[in-house]
Amino acid sequence: MMGSRRGMLRWLWLSVVVVGLDQLTKALAEEWLPPYEPLELLPFLNLRLMYNEGAAFSFLSQAGGWQRWFFVAVGVVVTGILVAWLRGLKSGERWQALGLSLIVGGAVGNLIDRILYGRVADFIDVYVGRWHWPAFNLADSAITVGVVLLLIDALREARAPRTAD
């Protein structure tokens, strides 16, 4: 039984792919896009290189610098908890493994930026008219998709008929 639980760590290959793609796309954005200038792709989508020294939605971005190491510490702790959760999954809990692996990959991708540069590069700018969603990157997208998968799995579990043990 313990071997099969450790086997769920095999899903970390997806985390590694997310980190690699995230770092590649951020490097390309920094090479090809001038900061803060939009490159329109579609009537609702720009590429616009921006930097975030805070957390989601620029939370604490103007805090004076201490937030860098605070968010690094939080990222390391949360990533450790998620990997432990992944390790403890049973072999049939694939939706959870997929969701957790995406979240871990996204968290590590943004963690790398915080450690190396003190900020996270964002470059995807979705908007409607003058309303813009906060810019994001591939790591943020992986985290969002991972959370949605965990929520879907939780809803499926809640609706599944219970069996007597």
pLDDT one-digit tens code per residue, 23-36: 999 999 999 999 99
Residue 110: Cβ within 10 Å count? 29
Q: What is the mean pLDDT of residues 152-157?
A: 89
| Percent of the chain with pLDDT strictly greater than 90 | 67
Catalytic residue among 22, 113, 122, 125: 122
Residue 91 pLDDT grade (very low, low, confident, very high; cuts 50, 70, 90)? confident
Rounded Cα–Cα distance for residues 69 and 76 (Å): 10
Q: Which residues contact 52 (CB under 8 A, 6 or more apart)?
A: 58, 61, 119, 120, 122, 135
Q: Is 122 a catalytic residue?
A: yes
Catalytic residue among 22, 140, 153, 165: 140
- Position 22 scores a pLDDT of 98
Backbone φ, ψ for residue 45 (5° rounding): -145, 120
Residue 67 pLDDT grade (very low, low, confident, very high; cuts 50, 70, 90)? low
- Position 62 scores a pLDDT of 53
Residue 2 pLDDT grade (very low, low, confident, very high; cuts 50, 70, 90)? very low
Rounded Cα–Cα distance for residues 48 and 81 (Å): 33
> Please, what is the average pLDDT of the chain?
87
Q: Is 125 a catalytic residue?
A: no
Q: Is pLDDT larger for residue 84 or for residue 156? A: 84
Q: Is pLDDT larger for residue 68 or for residue 153? A: 153
Q: Give the residue extent of every domain in the chain.
A: 2-158
pTM of the entire structure? 0.85
Crossing angle for the helix pair 12-32 and 138-159, to the nearest 10 degrees: 150
